């Protein structure tokens, strides 16, 4: 049986990516040119994480496109639940961008000139934009329920963990020193509480 496509979810995914990577950053940069710096210390790791996230998302979109397999069209309630999760994730990402304002970047710039963001969604988690991405990927799994979609979600989790643990958090620790140490000890990585840093034991 041919798996039906999910055009609405595909469009919602596209909308999320446009909002998160194009519209929202330009809006909250308040007219300044948006820069896209790369990590100076671990560019290979950052590129690997980016490729992993793209690959995971592509696998999920492929599942939503449909094709050979046994997946039947999900109930309207299931699709609405997934759409609501993605919409909520999009709103969370926009709110996170708003909290950062002109300091928003796609990666660590290597300086501590901008104040450490701890307000808004950053009071709950250290990487709210990544939390939003995981919400979208999870919404895709809810609808698709295929091995390809699940693998895509796993790749996304691994890519964001790699980016956060190896690239961003060590740089933030250097840039903000004790301020980031205290913040990361009290705040989870992608979910509240989960992934907090133990004082004196590094990031976990």
Cα separation, 120 vs 179, whole angstroms: 17
Token code pair at residue 49: 């994480």
CB-CB contact of 29 with 104 (8 Å): yes
Mean predicted lDDT score pLDDT of the chain: 81
> Which pLDDT value is given to residue 140?
93
Quickly count: other Cβ atoms within 10 Å of residue 25's Cβ.
20
| Mean pLDDT on 64-78 | 67
pLDDT in tens, 106-129: 555 555 567 788 988 999 999 999
> Which pLDDT value is given to residue 100?
78
pLDDT in tens, 20-39: 877 766 666 554 444 434 44
CB-CB contact of 82 with 140 (8 Å): yes
**Is the predicted pLDDT of residue 73 greater than 90, yes or no?**
no
Q: List, in order of start, the domains of the chain with CATH numbers.
A: 2-186 (1.20.120.1630)
Cα separation, 18 vs 108, whole angstroms: 21
pTM value is 0.82
> Which pLDDT value is given to residue 144?
87
Scan for tokens 């300091």, then name that residue: 103
The half-sphere exposure of 120 on its side-chain side, counting CA atoms within 13 A, is 16
pLDDT in tens, 89-107: 999 998 988 887 666 665 5
Phi/psi region, residue 193 (left: phi>0; alpha: psi -120 to 50; beta: rest), is: left
> Which pLDDT value is given to residue 111?
53
> Which pLDDT value is given to residue 171?
86
**Phi and psi at residue 130, to the nearest 5°:** -70, -35
**Is the predicted pLDDT of residue 16 greater than 70, yes or no?**
yes
> Which pLDDT value is given to residue 61?
93
Quickly count: other Cβ atoms within 10 Å of residue 68's Cβ.
8
């Amino acid at each position: 049986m041919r798996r039906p496509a999910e055009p609405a979810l595909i469009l919602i995914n596209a909308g999320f990516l446009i909002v998160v990577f194009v519209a929202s950053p330009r809006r909250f940069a308040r007219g300044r040119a948006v820069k896209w710096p790369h990590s100076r210390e671990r560019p290979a790791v950052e590129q690997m994480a980016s490729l992993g996230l793209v690959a995971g998302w592509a696998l999920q979109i492929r599942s939503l496109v449909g094709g050979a397999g046994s997946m039947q069209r999900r109930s309207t309630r299931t699709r609405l639940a997934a759409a609501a999760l993605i919409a909520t994730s999009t709103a969370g990402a926009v709110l996170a961008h708003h909290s950062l304002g002109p300091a928003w970047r796609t990666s660590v710039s290597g300086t501590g000139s901008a104040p450490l963001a701890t307000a808004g969604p950053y009071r709950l988690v250290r990487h709210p934009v990544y939390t939003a991405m995981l919400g979208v990927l999870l919404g895709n799994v809810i609808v698709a329920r295929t091995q390809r979609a699940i693998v895509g979600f796993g790749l996304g989790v691994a890519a964001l963990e790699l980016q956060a643990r190896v690239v961003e958090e060590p740089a933030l620790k250097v840039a903000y020193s004790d301020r980031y140490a205290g913040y990361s000890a009290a705040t989870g990585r992608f979910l509240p509480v989960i992934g907090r840093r133990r004082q004196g034991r590094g990031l976990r």
